[in-house]
Amino acid sequence: MDRTAQIVADVTRQRYGDGSIPYHSRWRHFEAGGFDRRAELDRSLGDVTVAERARAHVDLVITSVLLDAGAGPDWRYAETASGQQFVRSEGLGVASFRAFANGLFSSDPRQPFRADAAALRRLTAAQLGAAFQVSASNPLVGLDGRVTLLRRLGDAMADQPGVFGTDGRPAGVFDTLTRNLTSLDAHEILWLLLTTLSDVWPAPNHVGDIPLGDCWRHAAVRGEGLSDGWMPFHKLSQWLTYSLLEPFAWAGIQVTGLSALTGLPEYRNGGLLLDTGVINTKDRASLDRTWQVGDEFIVEWRALTVALLDELAPRVRKILGKSEPEMPLACVLEGGTWAAGRALAQQLRGGLPPINLASDATVF
């Protein structure tokens, strides 16, 4: 753990030498290549109210995060505006930004800088594939799964006009949470996402008629009543919560209680722990097979990742001389564990995760 903390601290210093570490957020990917795409969007929006600007930011980030599962090693996106090519998470972020800015997620040609239920419900794989430059020579993992998520988002928003408005905009999350408020708790954001968007996730996990999304069974998990046997992760919902912190702050809304969120149980953070020997497999042959997201082996790996990130974070802060308020977990991840996991994966396997996962792009 101490050696891993030192690796994470070293990577953090390399990335953020001035000590100012932002949140682990989709907005970092919108900054890829040193190009300020948020400023570009704000210029395109023109002279609008603070609330309307926030709505556009929220529409963008929610649709983008739902498109953020692993792209695979062979896909890349060429951006005309910057003249650069991007891969993996940065490529997905830039591609989704451009799709949003070009009005792909809006049903109103006069208002391209938004997302709404009507446009999302009729989105096709061909449309998204074209926007993401997908071809036989440029394959994107899980294209159909990504379209499924956005179409299900459209359905969920259309079914809940009390939260998402008559147009069914993701920005309804902002309006619902900030009515007559200047501050709120991070848990409130996550709670609203989980309760209103649970139908978005196609995972076949239910308790009664309640869809659970990114929760999976493990024989060692004990809980009360119907929760017994279920391990909750909600990785994309928590990643989305982290990614909403900045739009809320830019609109003058203070978000507190960041420690209520967990580390993200995905293959960069989990890969870091495997590649540095913090955790190991009981049988090395398990690294040679392909696993499904719901397999106990993967559930256990992800659960250990969540738990051990909480053990790793204070060690990283101590090395960097930071307190928890100065460097909450969202900043440890960004500094941080995710980047260190990616760097090690690149050194050891050309960027591939240490465990082979069958991904439909709805969890990983």
Over residues 279-302, the pLDDT tens digits come to: 999 998 999 999 999 999 999 999
What are the pLDDT digits (tens) for 265-278?
999 999 999 999 99
Compute the distance between CA of residue 313 and CA of residue 347 in angstroms, rounded to an integer. Answer: 23
Quote the CA–CA distance of 13 and 16 in Å, as a whole number. 5
User: Residue 313: inside a domain, yes or no?
Assistant: no
pLDDT score, position 33 = 95
In a domain, 329, yes or no: no
Neighbours of 242 (CB within 10 A): 24
Task: Find, among 316, 351, 333, 268, the residue nearest to 7 by Cα.
Answer: 316
Q: Is residue 100 domain-resident?
A: yes
* Positive or negative torsion for Cα 343, 348, 354, 358: positive
Check whether 232 has a pLDDT greater than 90.
Answer: yes
* Residue 43 structural domain: 25-208
pLDDT surpassing 80 at residue 69? no
Q: Is the pLDDT of residue 195 over 70?
A: yes
3-state secondary structure of 140: coil
Count how many domains the chain has: 1
Give percent of the chain with pLDDT exceeding 90.
Answer: 84
* pLDDT tier at 242, thresholds 50, 70, 90: very high
Residue 344 is assigned to a structural domain of this protein = no
> What contacts 124, CB < 8 A, 6 or more positions away?
147
Q: What is the pLDDT of residue 364?
A: 62
Between residues 364 and 8, which one has the greater pLDDT?
Answer: 8
**103 pLDDT exceeds 90?**
yes
What confidence score (pLDDT) does residue 72 get?
A: 82
pLDDT of res. 85: 97
Query: 244 and 173 in contact (C-beta within 8 Å)?
Result: yes
Mean pLDDT value across residues 122-135:
97
pLDDT at position 141 is 87
Above 90 in pLDDT, residue 16?
Answer: yes
Whether residue 213 lies inside any domain: the answer is no
Confidence of residue 358 (pLDDT cuts 50, 70, 90): confident
- Do you find a cis peptide bond into 336, omega within 30 degrees of 0? yes
- Which are the contacts of 305, defined by CB distance < 8 A and separation ≥ 6? 263, 265, 266, 269, 270, 273
Mean pLDDT, residues 37-42 taken together: 96
- CB count within 10 Å of CB 129 equals 18
Across 312-331, average pLDDT: 96
The letter for the amino acid at 277 is: G
| Structure-token pair, residue 140 | 């994107």
Window from 124-128, 254-258, 359-363 with minimum mean pLDDT = 359-363
Is residue 251 included in any domain, yes or no?
Answer: no
Asked, for residue 17, whether it belongs to a domain, the answer is: no
In a domain, 12, yes or no: no
